[in-house]
């Protein structure tokens, strides 16, 4: 045996562990047969819950979630031992995990027509989880959000976590802005959790809430959910297990339709443009699509007011997945 091989294996292992995030997410250009598909997938030592299945250039892929950490992953199905299940069976199989507990909590908070779903992370966290919505807009991306958080946090937290709720239409209309965000992530300046925000994000200025946004009669929720995920994959984005309702508007039936896709609705307890003040553990909402300068300005003022606390690591931005994971790891 070549005496240098063990060292080479060790070096390869180190490169995989420490540089894994350096590789960009694969771009799937020829997606076919994309569908909801549930079950258990195993590749030692990790169990995964399968959410989607699709073909791309002759290979079959799975979109899976680690039910302990809420991290998603895409890989070829041939690498896994797979047991197909119904959604009900899969949730029962993984019922003790933070992921399934979060789904259940979102369903319990489904009655309100506005802001159903998970609204905050762990209160003991000294900081917030920042979410920015990218609804359809003719205005360019408000880049101040991203450059300012990187500037404030680069010495204490890098990459800086942020969750972006993205619509299919925004991705289609703003390819250069999307490329800019992906480059920031590739440079390890920010780390993005991509939230499904529906494909069309239709809104009426006249219709009442109960017939507005995704509650508009004739809405195809399968299209709104799955087409957005496909658009993410074609753009090299990794879909998360989170969903944000357009306008934060839903009803109980719609919440259950979304959770049946394996997605956790995410609300907010601090929509800055509406004057709601964030507390420790808050899931903060601003709009990054250029349509809400007031909310962005308020967030930048918040950052500036926390400069000393940030420098002392006493006020941080939290990864939305970790916030939800920690909350439900502690739940009975």
Residue whose pair of structure tokens reads 């197909």 in the numeric block:
84
Write out the H or E segment, with its range, that includes residue 39.
Answer: strand 31-43
307-316 residue pLDDT tens: 999 999 889 8
- Nearest by Cα to 283 from 323, 315, 249: 323
CA angle 21, 98, 149 (to 5 degrees): 45
What number of CA atoms fall less than 13 Å from residue 248's CA on the CB side?
Answer: 21
Global pTM value: 0.91
Neighbours of 301 (CB within 10 A): 11
Q: Which pLDDT band holds residue 37 (cuts at 50, 70, 90)?
A: very high
Average pLDDT over residues 131-147: 95
**For the segment 295-309, what is each residue's pLDDT rounded down to a tens digit?**
999 999 999 999 999
pLDDT band at 47 (very low <50, low <70, confident <90, very high): very high
Average pLDDT, integer, range 51-73: 97
Q: Which of 24-28, 45-49, 98-102, 248-252 has the lowest mean pLDDT?
A: 24-28
Q: What is the mean pLDDT of the chain?
A: 90
Sign for the CA dihedral angle at 151, 157, 158, 159 comes to negative
Over 70: is that where the pLDDT of 176 sits? yes
pLDDT at 139: 95
pLDDT at res. 225:
98
Mean pLDDT of 172-198: 96
Tens digit of pLDDT for each residue in 228-286? 999 999 999 999 999 999 999 999 999 999 999 999 999 999 999 999 999 888 999 99
Q: What is the pLDDT of residue 125?
A: 67
Cβ contacts of residue 42 below 8 Å, gap of 6+?
Answer: 48, 80, 81, 82
């Amino acid at each position: 045996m070549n005496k240098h091989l063990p060292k080479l294996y060790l070096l390869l292992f180190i490169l995989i562990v420490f540089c894994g995030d350096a590789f960009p997410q694969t771009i799937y250009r020829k997606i076919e047969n994309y569908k909801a598909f549930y079950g258990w997938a195993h590749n030692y030592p990790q169990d995964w819950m399968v959410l989607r299945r699709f073909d791309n250039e002759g290979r079959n892929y799975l979109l899976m979630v680690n039910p302990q950490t809420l991290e998603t992953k895409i890989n070829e199905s041939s690498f896994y031992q797979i047991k197909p299940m119904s959604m009900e069976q899969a949730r029962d199989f993984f019922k003790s995990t933070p992921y399934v507990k979060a789904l259940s909590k979102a369903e319990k908070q489904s009655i309100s027509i506005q802001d159903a779903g998970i609204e905050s992370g762990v209160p003991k966290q000294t900081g917030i989880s920042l979410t920015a919505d990218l609804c359809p807009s003719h205005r360019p991306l408000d880049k101040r959000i991203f450059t300012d958080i990187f500037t404030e946090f680069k010495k204490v937290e890098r990459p800086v976590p942020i969750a972006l709720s993205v619509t299919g239409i925004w991705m289609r209309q703003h390819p250069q802005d999307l490329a800019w965000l992906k480059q920031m992530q590739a440079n390890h300046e920010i780390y993005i959790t991509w939230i499904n925000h529906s494909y069309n994000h239709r809104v009426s200025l006249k219709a009442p809430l109960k017939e507005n946004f995704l509650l508009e009669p004739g809405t195809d929720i399968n299209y709104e959910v799955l087409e957005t995920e496909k658009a993410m994959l074609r753009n090299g984005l990794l879909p998360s297990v989170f969903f944000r309702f357009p306008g934060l508007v839903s009803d109980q039936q719609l919440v259950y339709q979304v959770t049946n896709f394996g997605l956790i609705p995410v609300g907010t307890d601090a929509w800055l443009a509406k004057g709601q003040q964030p507390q420790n553990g808050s899931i903060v909402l601003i709009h990054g699509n250029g349509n809400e300068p007031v909310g962005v300005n308020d967030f930048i003022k918040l950052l500036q007011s926390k400069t000393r606390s940030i420098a002392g690591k006493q006020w941080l931005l939290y990864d939305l997945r970790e916030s939800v994971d920690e909350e439900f790891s502690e739940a009975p």
